[in-house]
Structure 1
Amino acid sequence: MTRTSPTYRPSDLPADVARHDRVHPPGDDRRWRESYYFSFFDARHGIGGFSSIGRRVASGHSGSVNVLWGPDRHSLVASEWDSFDKLEDHVHVAGMTYSSDEPFGDWRLQFGGKLNDGGDGVECDHAALGPVAKSAADSVEVSYDLTFSPTHPPYVYREDPRWSELFTGHVDEVGLVTGTITIDGTTIEIDGRGGKDHSWGVRNWFAPDDWRWIDLVSDGGPEIAMWRADLGGWIGDGAVFTDPAAGPERAIVGYTETVTTVPRPDVPGKAIPTGLTAEITTGAGTHHLEGTVVRVLPVLFDRRVDGTLQRSWNDRSLLSTTVDGHPGWANVEFAGRVENP
């Protein structure tokens, strides 16, 4: 059973907050990009997923990633590319559409098409990571019609120029996700928890030496949305969502972690994450997180610097978690740069 909140209404948000759920005037930097992200996990069916759509105004190019996975399921994934003429609040890329009628209200997520089959191993088959048309992996017919309904006020990251190579603004939410998913003719009724974020600004994935991003949801316990990055020194922001009426005390002010890994064959500079233990402190207290990695999906970006291949290697991982003893599920990014992978 998922929890609901009668105390939060998006219409009560002040205008200077509500505007951040809509598109923003683009900056002058050609790397400026605006993106939306959604995730969910339905513990009854053991299925979760995440997707994102981003758009670069300077090039008119848009891209998406679309993933369905679970501890006992094949990882289904595709990254696709498209183009657009102008920024609009409703976004569409390669069969996937996000739409909303009210700022920070319900968002509808729709998809119809194929996803690559990345197998049922812990690490997704790398052949499945690209567009369906170019993948050597088998593909599966998938469609879904999901609704994200926020249950807590959005958390807007504090302004800080140290984030300038990753974003100008960033907003996190948690809520209910309901609807249907059909995979290869089998339909699943979804009733779970999910996360949403919205970012805009320069997105330079090679700027951080390392980063940790956590999107954790739970049917009955604390939920977490946070990002930390080593940009010549660690910087972090985010929130722990408990009481919907919680104010500034939900902001994360302290974080320590231990990550366990195993070697990745042929890539000595990027071990495979296997677990995460963390202490997360807010103005209201400290929360203890334990997580076990059940799936890993690498997100890879390459560039050459003075003839050396550099790869931004982000092990996007699904974790079975507890926070203060409450079970949940998390999408966690274990990211860093690798040379000559």
Structure 2
Amino acid sequence: MSKYIMRPEHEFPHQPDQSSNFNESVYTNAFNSASPVGGWMRLGNRVNEGYAELSVCLYLPDGRIACQFQRPAISTNEKFEAGGITYEVNVPLRSVSMTYRGDVIITRDPDALRDPQKLFAHGERLPAHVHWTHQAQSPVHGGEPADDQVQTFYGRDFSLGHFNQHSAAKGFIEVGGERWEIDGHGWRDHSWGPRYWQVIYCYRLYIGNFSNGDGFMLLKITDAAGVSRRQGVLLVDGRYEEVIDMDIMTDWTDRQDPASWRLAVRTAERKAIIEGEVIQLAPLRNRRKTDEGILVSRIAEGFTRLKWDGREGYGMTEYIERIESEALTGYPL
């Protein structure tokens, strides 16, 4: 019997519970196979707080990052549409599309994202139109826990329901007068339930695709007591293989950002060594005011070139951790 319940209706918005921080989030990324261009989009409905979290981050082939982050007002959780983003389910569990129309802020220096207030006040802005469609290349992984004993992906206080899927991705990115085609691969996820970024003490997430359709989604998540879980999947020949064990070695920049990494992964079927080189990193942060004060998390989002068994691909490196006493809680692990 499966540990998770996954039905076609889970593709669509859920009835919010009474949690003040209920969040329902849809995320897609997409990268061209022939050239290093792509990005990710996310919309997280926080209807009980009256707004959505909108994120668009595009990695352009000349090294620029084009991005937008907003909190558009919403009054319903009946659709994934706010601030210029729309998300549509074409065929449940098989195909979705995501689109953004609106301005983006352009930076040639990713370090400018460390001071977003200044960048958003004075940075160059250009009109953008981004659209891609995902066609499933894997089963859906995850869902709603079948009972109270099931270990959820991120924990029961961060997105109780969660599923994800690897895909073929086609579309385009237009910024100003320039256009780049997307004909490659991507990954998507959908989650719902109570969610604060600061609930995560430390995690390392790796997502990747290769031109033959193989891929991976690998997570190491650590709590404040230092206890870690390693989980995720390798996608091989259209099937997911659950991870049994995983070791991580990260090379860091002087700014304590991930520059490259090496993963040793084991499933019941195989052992794999996967390497990643971060091409462009968006060093983001999230702040939340609580009764204890202002809690801050580092969210490093890196467009990454991948190697596995002689094959090259593209994907994302995501390092999230709390910042306490001006120190990253997970660094240098």
* TMscore range, shorter length: 0.7 to 0.9
1:334 deviates by: 1.5
Equivalent residue number for residue 113 of structure 2: 126
CA distances 1:190-229 after superposition (whole Å, capped 9, x unpaired): 2110110111112222223210112211112631123331
Contact 1:78–1:130, Cα closer than 8 Å, also in 2: no
Equivalent residue number for residue 268 of structure 1: none
1:124–1:198 CA distance, 2 compared to 1 (3 A): farther
Contact 1:117–1:128, Cα closer than 8 Å, also in 2: no
Contact 1:61–1:82, Cα closer than 8 Å, also in 2: yes
Equivalent residue number for residue 173 of structure 1: 165
Alignment of 1:138-217 (within 5 A): 138-156=124-142, 159-160=150-151, 163-217=155-209
CA distance in 2, matches of 1:131, 1:258: 34
Is 1:258–2:249 an aligned residue pair?
yes
The number of residues matched between the two structures is 315
Query: Given the alignment, which residue of 319, 323, 333 partners 1:334?
Result: 319
CA distances 1:105-140 after superposition (whole Å, capped 9, x unpaired): 321222221110121x4x3422784699x4321112
Equivalent residue number for residue 330 of structure 2: none
CA distance in 2, matches of 1:199, 1:163: 12
Give 3-state SS (helix, strand or coil) of 2:44's partner: strand
CA distance in 2, matches of 1:237, 1:23: 26
Is 1:52–2:33 an aligned residue pair?
no
Q: Which amino acid aligns with 1:92?
A: E
CA distances 1:221-249 after superposition (whole Å, capped 9, x unpaired): 631123331123112432111222x36xx
1:238–1:316 CA distance, 2 compared to 1 (3 A): same
CA distances 1:2-35 after superposition (whole Å, capped 9, x unpaired): xxxxxxxxxxxx9943232222232332112110
CA distance in 2, matches of 1:131, 1:20: 39
Is 1:223–2:221 an aligned residue pair?
no
Give 3-state SS (helix, strand or coil) of 1:164's partner: coil
CA distance in 2, matches of 1:57, 1:307: 24
Contact 1:80–1:131, Cα closer than 8 Å, also in 2: no
Give 3-state SS (helix, strand or coil) of 1:25's partner: coil
Q: Which amino acid aligns with 1:284?
A: E
CA distance in 1, matches of 2:254, 2:257: 6
Equivalent residue number for residue 7 of structure 1: none
Question: RMSD of aligned C-alpha atoms?
Answer: 2.5
CA distances 1:280-325 after superposition (whole Å, capped 9, x unpaired): 2222212211111121112212246787654201111111111222
Contact 1:181–1:187, Cα closer than 8 Å, also in 2: yes
Alignment of 1:212-291 (within 5 A): 212-220=204-212, 222-231=214-223, 232=225, 233-244=227-238, 246=239, 250-264=241-255, 271-291=256-276
CA distance in 1, matches of 2:278, 2:87: 29
5+ residue gaps in structure 1? 1-13, 265-270
Contact 1:77–1:128, Cα closer than 8 Å, also in 2: no
CA distance in 2, matches of 1:306, 1:151: 45
Contact 1:223–1:242, Cα closer than 8 Å, also in 2: yes
More strand by share: 2
Equivalent residue number for residue 311 of structure 1: 296
Alignment of 1:8-19 (within 5 A): 16-19=6-9
TM-score norm. by structure 2 comes to: 0.86
Give 3-state SS (helix, strand or coil) of 1:30's partner: coil
CA distances 1:154-174 after superposition (whole Å, capped 9, x unpaired): 111663167012221211111
Equivalent residue number for residue 321 of structure 1: 306
CA distance in 2, matches of 1:113, 1:309: 30
TM-score norm. by structure 1 comes to: 0.84
Equivalent residue number for residue 90 of structure 2: 101
1:44–1:277 CA distance, 2 compared to 1 (3 A): same
Q: Which amino acid aligns with 2:20?
A: R
Contact 1:128–1:135, Cα closer than 8 Å, also in 2: no
Contact 1:308–1:339, Cα closer than 8 Å, also in 2: no
1:98–1:304 CA distance, 2 compared to 1 (3 A): closer
